[in-house]
Amino acid sequence: MTMETKEIQKLLDFIANSGLDEVIIETSELKVKVKRNSTVQTVAVGVPAPQAVAAPVVQSVAAAPAVRKETPAEEAPAEKADSKIVTIKSPMIGTFYRASSPESPLFVNVGDEIKPGKVVCVIEAMKLFNEIESELSGKIVKVLVENATPVEFDQPLFQVELA
């Protein structure tokens, strides 16, 4: 599959208008990765929020994962007042999923240690499943959103105690 200049420009225009920070398209013959700088907002201690990563684009329409039954907004024991708690916020509007499919284990649970690059959730926007990766090290202390619910841009998703 060879991409012409017009097709590349259309792809770049689509990404620029989509609000996504990073898109990866991969086929057996071609791999395209586009990443742009974005402003990230954080709470409390100035650690960057996660960036979006788009799943590969496919020609057929993918079905959204089914709703997973779980306890609403799982919580850890009360946090220490002097601890460094940071909020991971949604980088986009979409549907929040805690796992890649209903049969898969959750990406993170309360009490899990995370490091930069660790996928913490998926946000589905316009049939693209965007993996949201952590940009910080710490421990998940609270999940603020229920699985399979809509989220807004900059909506708090997780609270993390910094390592």
Question: Do 122 and 62 touch, CB atoms closer than 8 A?
Answer: no
The pLDDT, as a whole number, for residue 60 is: 37
CATH of domain 41-57+75-162: 2.40.50.100
Q: Token pair 């742009």 is at which residue?
A: 36
Q: What backbone torsions phi and psi does residue 89 show, to the nearest 5 degrees?
A: -110, 160
Q: Which of 17-21, 107-111, 115-119, 124-128 has the lowest mean pLDDT?
A: 17-21
Residue spans of the domains in the chain: they are 41-57+75-162
Q: In what order do the strands lie in the sheet with 119-125?
A: 52-53, 128-133, 119-125, 94-97, 149-151
Q: Which of 144, 147, 145, 148 is CA-nearest to residue 159? A: 144
**Rounded distance between C-alpha atoms, residue 139 and residue 136, angstroms:** 10
The mean per-residue pLDDT over the stretch 3-7 comes to: 68
Bridge partners for 88 per DSSP: 158
Two tokens at 118?
């660790």
pLDDT on residue 76: 44
The pLDDT confidence band at residue 92, using thresholds 50, 70 and 90, is: very high
Q: What is the CA radius of gyration of the chain?
A: 17
* Cα-based distances in Å from 82 to 64, 79, 85, 105, 161: 40, 9, 9, 32, 11
CB 139 within 8 A of CB 112: yes
* Per-residue pLDDT tens over the stretch 35-80: 665 444 333 333 344 454 544 444 334 444 444 444 444 444 444 4
